């Protein structure tokens, strides 16, 4: 206050000087003529007295500090030896949410793929494993690490690749691969680029199946074989479908497309159905069918270097229908 008084003195002097110069008189009373109402409490008020909260707080802190300083340092006991503290009556009271800090919400358990309901998991598997375009099972030669006598080693890789999700654990493998093999369209056909890896060949089919044990999930497969009667060129499609009762159904579209003779194919299918009675593995049925076809074609036609059988006559000897000139074999 002393400093403010010192500051006020010259200003009061200046004020007086100015008032005198202007011919005005200013008294001490007129300078401080404000009287506070009686109901006003005198400054600084009760809350800044001895009972002031901040003074109480300061006292408590001082006392706590002194107590801690007086306590001798005890050796730390192992955590197991500590008895659980009895809950104080204050803690037992239902806690009221603080308006200042807010209520901490219960932590929501994380959502994991395997804790989802099966319907939702199947939806995820469909997104990961089901493709719009057909899948072509193949064996492709790829270069492997290492050399023998200067020659690079090669390895046969199986396609299509299975979804990576199937590598996580046993349960995911079963579930993902059942969707992958059960819902995609698989077509076995020969590739023009890989003439030595004919997927219509029973040998190659057996190798592919051995590398893909989960292929027993296949519900339906197709076999595309080339058949030609120049200048026409088309493919015959065989469909092997697993039925609900456990059996297998084989059909082909040769009769639908043309009026060509298909008695050879029909008899191969009939023999396959007899041999594969009670069989539900479509890959095994495919293997039998391709073997039967090859035997029948080899009986009547000449095997060409291009992988097609050349039929001896333009008309079928049995049904007198127009014959297919060239027929694809395994
Ligand atoms: Zn015929």
pLDDT digits (tens, 9 = 90+) for 20-69: 777 776 665 555 567 777 777 666 555 666 667 677 777 777 777 777 66
For the ranges 72-86, 121-135, 283-297, the lowest mean pLDDT is seen at 72-86
Residues with CB under 5 A from ligand 1 (ion): 261, 263, 316, 318-319
Quote the pLDDT of residue 229: 67
Indicate if the pLDDT at residue 261 is higher than 60.
yes
Quote the pLDDT of residue 260: 77
Grade residue 2 by pLDDT with cuts at 50, 70 and 90.
Answer: very low
Indicate if the pLDDT at residue 75 is higher than 60.
no
| Mean confidence (pLDDT) of the chain | 80
Indicate if the pLDDT at residue 15 is higher than 90.
no
**Helix (H) or strand (E) run with residue 159 in it:** strand 151-159
Residue 242 CA to ligand 1 centre (angstroms): 28
pLDDT digits (tens, 9 = 90+) for 262-314: 888 899 999 999 999 988 999 999 999 999 999 999 998 998 877 788 888 88
Nearest to 268 by CA among 244, 242, 236, 243: 236
Residue 76 CA to ligand 1 centre (angstroms): 98
| Percentage of the chain lying above the pLDDT 70 cut | 75
Residue 322 CA to ligand 1 centre (angstroms): 8
Quote the pLDDT of residue 160: 94
Residue 255 CA to ligand 1 centre (angstroms): 11
Residue 328 CA to ligand 1 centre (angstroms): 16
pLDDT digits (tens, 9 = 90+) for 201-234: 999 999 999 888 888 899 999 999 988 766 556 7
Residue 313 CA to ligand 1 centre (angstroms): 11
Residue 263 CA to ligand 1 centre (angstroms): 4
Residue 310 CA to ligand 1 centre (angstroms): 15
Q: How far apart are CA 214 and CA 249, in angstroms?
A: 21
Residue 195 CA to ligand 1 centre (angstroms): 29
**Residues 161, 142: contact at Cβ < 8 Å?**
no
For the ranges 120-134, 153-167, 313-327, the lowest mean pLDDT is seen at 313-327
**Residues 190, 199: contact at Cβ < 8 Å?**
yes
pTM: 0.64
Write the CB contacts of 167 (distance below 8 Å, at least 6 apart in sequence): 173
Residue 260 CA to ligand 1 centre (angstroms): 8
Kindly write down the DSSP assignment for every residue of 169-199, as one continuous string: -HHHHHHHHHHHHHHS-EEE---TT-TTS-T
**How far from 208 is each of 50, 198, 276, CA to CA, in Å?**
93, 11, 20
Residue 276 CA to ligand 1 centre (angstroms): 24
Residue 259 CA to ligand 1 centre (angstroms): 10
Which of 286-305 are b and which e, b meaning 16 or more Cβ less than 10 Å from the residue's Cβ?
Answer: bbbbbbbbbebbeeebeeee
CB atoms near residue 165 (< 10 Å):
18
Can you say whether residue 150 is alpha, beta or left, with left for phi > 0 and alpha for psi between -120 and 50 degrees?
left
Joined together, the tokens standing for residue 159 give 């396609």
Rg of the chain's alpha carbons, rounded to an integer? 48
Residue 265 CA to ligand 1 centre (angstroms): 9
Residue 285 CA to ligand 1 centre (angstroms): 24
Quote the pLDDT of residue 23: 72
Q: Which residue has the higher pLDDT, 154 or 257?
A: 154
Quote the pLDDT of residue 240: 96
Residue 267 CA to ligand 1 centre (angstroms): 10
Residue 307 CA to ligand 1 centre (angstroms): 22
Residue 315 CA to ligand 1 centre (angstroms): 8
Residue 325 CA to ligand 1 centre (angstroms): 13
Residue 190 CA to ligand 1 centre (angstroms): 25
Residue bearing tokens 């006003």: 40
Nearest to 137 by CA among 198, 55, 179, 49: 198
Nearest to 135 by CA among 193, 197, 180, 195: 180
For the ranges 4-8, 185-189, 260-264, 272-276, the lowest mean pLDDT is seen at 4-8
Residue 225 CA to ligand 1 centre (angstroms): 18
Quote the pLDDT of residue 157: 87
Residue 116 CA to ligand 1 centre (angstroms): 56
Burial-class residue 249 by CB neighbours within 10 Å (0-12, 13-18, 19+): middle
């Amino acid at each position: 206050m002393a400093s403010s008084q010192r500051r006020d003195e010259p200003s009061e002097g200046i004020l007086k000087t100015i008032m005198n110069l202007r011919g005005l008189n200013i008294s001490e009373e007129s300078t401080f003529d404000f009287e506070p109402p009686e109901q006003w409490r005198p400054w600084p008020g009760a809350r800044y007295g001895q009972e002031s909260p901040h003074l109480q707080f300061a006292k408590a802190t001082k006392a706590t500090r002194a107590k801690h300083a007086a306590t001798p340092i005890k050796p730390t006991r192992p955590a197991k030896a500590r008895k659980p503290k009895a809950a104080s009556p204050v803690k037992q009271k239902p806690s009221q949410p603080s308006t200042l800090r807010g209520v901490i919400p219960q932590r929501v358990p994380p959502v994991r793929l395997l804790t989802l309901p099966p319907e939702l998991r199947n939806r995820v598997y469909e997104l990961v494993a089901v493709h719009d375009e057909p899948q072509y099972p193949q064996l492709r030669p790829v270069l492997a690490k290492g050399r023998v006598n200067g020659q690079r080693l090669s390895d046969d890789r199986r396609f299509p690749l299975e979804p990576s999700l199937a590598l996580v654990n046993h349960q995911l493998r079963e579930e993902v691969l059942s969707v992958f093999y059960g819902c995609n369209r698989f077509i076995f056909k020969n590739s023009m680029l890989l003439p030595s890896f004919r997927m219509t060949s029973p040998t190659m089919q057996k190798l592919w199946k051995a590398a893909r044990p989960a292929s027993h999930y296949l519900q339906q497969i197709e076999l595309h074989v080339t058949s030609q009667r120049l200048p026409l060129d088309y493919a015959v499609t065989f469909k092997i479908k697993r039925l609900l009762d456990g059996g297998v159904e084989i059909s082909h579209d040769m009769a639908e497309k043309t009026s060509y003779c298909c008695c050879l194919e029909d008899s191969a299918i009939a023999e396959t159905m007899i041999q594969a009675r009670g069989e539900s593995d479509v890959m095994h049925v495919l293997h039998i069918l391709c073997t039967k076809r090859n035997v029948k074609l080899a009986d009547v036609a000449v095997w060409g270097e291009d992988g097609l059988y050349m039929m001896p006559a333009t008309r079928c000897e049995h049904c007198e229908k127009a014959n297919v000139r060239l027929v694809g074999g395994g």
